[in-house]
Amino acid sequence: MKNYINSLREHNLKATPQRLAIVDALYINGHMNTETLYGLMIQKFSSISLATIYKNINIMIEKNFIQEVKLPHAKSVYELTKTSHSHLLCKKCGAIEDVEINLDVMIENISKTNQFQIDKTDFVLSGNCKNCQ
């Protein structure tokens, strides 16, 4: 695992044990919602407050350390910020996979056609994963 202490500090976030545990959980699990994240954290820190989860999620989003991923018919999940990517969501088992899709050409076209300057995309493709079809 990466050195998240410095990584947090570079984002002006104090490297507290709680915060490191959250980051670690996201690193290991990839995408988590507030509920599952709290469920995991309460095991490590028996007295951690749910408010701590929310406060950290919010400030880490603010500092661009993590990202929210909004999913159809499901709670949002959070993940460590990485290079821009899209998501595959299995409607049956709920699995979420990262997928690299090069959208540059498409964005360029849409940008011109619609006179719209695009600088971010949120792309979720839903269906059935390998194991669920």
Tell me which of Zn ion, DNA, its own copies, none is bound by residue 107, counting a contact when its beta carbon lies within the kind-specific cut-off of 5 to 8 angstroms.
its own copies
Is 129:97 a contact under the CB 8 Å cutoff?
yes
108 binds its own copies (CB under 8 A): no
Surface-to-core class of residue 85, CB atoms within 10 Å of its CB (0-12 exposed, 13-18 middle, 19+ buried): middle
Tell me which of Zn ion, DNA, Mn ion, none is bound by residue 98, counting a contact when its beta carbon lies within the kind-specific cut-off of 5 to 8 angstroms.
Mn ion
Q: Cβ neighbours of residue 22 under 8 Å, at least 6 residues apart?
A: 37, 41, 53, 56, 57, 60
| 21 phi, psi to nearest 5 deg | -65, -40
Q: Find the binder of its own copies among 55, 70, 84, 108 (CB under 8 A).
A: 70
Q: Find the binder of its own copies among 68, 84, 93, 108 (CB under 8 A).
A: 68
Query: Which chain residues interact with its own copies by CB under 8 A?
Result: 68, 70-72, 88, 90, 97, 99, 101, 106-107, 110, 114-130, 133
